[in-house]
Amino acid sequence: MNLVLFHPSEIDQPLSRQDQRARHILDVLRRKPGDTFDAGVVNGPRGKGTLVTVAAGHLTLAFSWGAPPPPPCPITLLIGLPRPQTARDILRETTALGVSSLHFVRTERGEPSYGDSTLWRNGAWEESLRQGAAQAFCTHLPAVTHGRSLAETLATLSTEACRLALDNYEASEALATCNLLGYKSAVLALGAERGWSAAERALLRASGFALVHLGERVLRTETACIAALTLLKARLGWL
C-alpha cells in the first residue's frame, strides 16, 4: 500500500484499530504519534497524513492536502464476466494501470453464476479498486458496472473512441500494429473465458469494433487485460 486512501466522509473521523489501514500505518509503516505517511482522498487530492494519537480502539489522524494526481487514461474496458478471483485481479491491476471505466458484461459463453457471486453482491469489488489505486500512488477509481448484457453496455459507450475487441479466432490484425491514428481514447472489449459467440462478434462489428489479437498464444483473461491495456496506453501516448 503506497498510498493510504480515505473516502471524504472518513477524513474527520477516528480510524478503528481493526481497519486494515490502521494496521498498515502501525505495523507496516511503523508510524508513531507525530509521524507522517502518504495519504489520499478517493477521487481527490494526495497529501500527508499525520498520526496524532493512538488509543485502545482507534487512531486519530490529521491531514494536509496538495494537488490531485493526473486523470486516468481515456480507456474503457468491456469484459465478459469472469470468475470472481479473476475479476478481483482485473479490478485491482487495471485500476493500477489507470483505466477510466470497467464494464463486466453477461455474454453467451460466460458462466451466469459468476455475476451472482459475493464479490458483486456485497460490494467487495470496491476494495480491489482501492488496492489498485493505493499500489499506483493514485486516488482515481474507475467507474464500474456489472451484470448488464453486451448489447445494453455497447449502447452506452462513447462514439468518439476507437473500438477494439480481442478475439483469438477471427481477428486478422494485431493490436500492436492496428491503425489508431487520430484517436485519443479507446474502448477495448474482451470476451469471457470461452470467448465471443458468433452472434457477439457480429454485434461488435456492427457497433464499430475491429477484431484484433495479441499474437498466437492464448492468454488468461487477466493477462490479456494487462498486456492489451499496456499496448493501448503506449500507442495512445499515455505511458
- Every domain of the chain with CATH number 2.40.240.20 lies at 4-65
Q: For residue 237, is pLDDT > 90?
A: no
Residue whose C-alpha is closest to residue 94's, from 103, 83, 102: 102
Region 98-108 average pLDDT: 96
* % of residues, the chain, pLDDT over 90: 87
Give the residue range(s) of CATH 3.40.1280.10 domains in the chain. 75-235
Question: Is 4-65 a CATH 2.40.240.20 domain?
Answer: yes
Surface-to-core class of residue 57, CB atoms within 10 Å of its CB (0-12 exposed, 13-18 middle, 19+ buried): exposed
Residues near 20 by Cβ (< 8 Å), separated by ≥ 6?
none
Residue 83 in this model has a pLDDT that exceeds 90: yes
Which pLDDT does position 197 carry in this prediction? 96
> What pLDDT does residue 37 have?
98
Per-residue pLDDT of 19-68, as tens digits, reads: 999 999 999 999 999 999 999 999 999 999 999 999 999 999 999 999 88
Record: fold of 75-235: Alpha/beta knot (3.40.1280)
Q: What is the pLDDT of residues 146-182, one digit of tens each?
A: 999 999 999 999 888 999 999 999 998 999 999 888 8
User: What's the pLDDT at 158?
Assistant: 84
Query: C-alpha cell of 60?
Result: 486519530
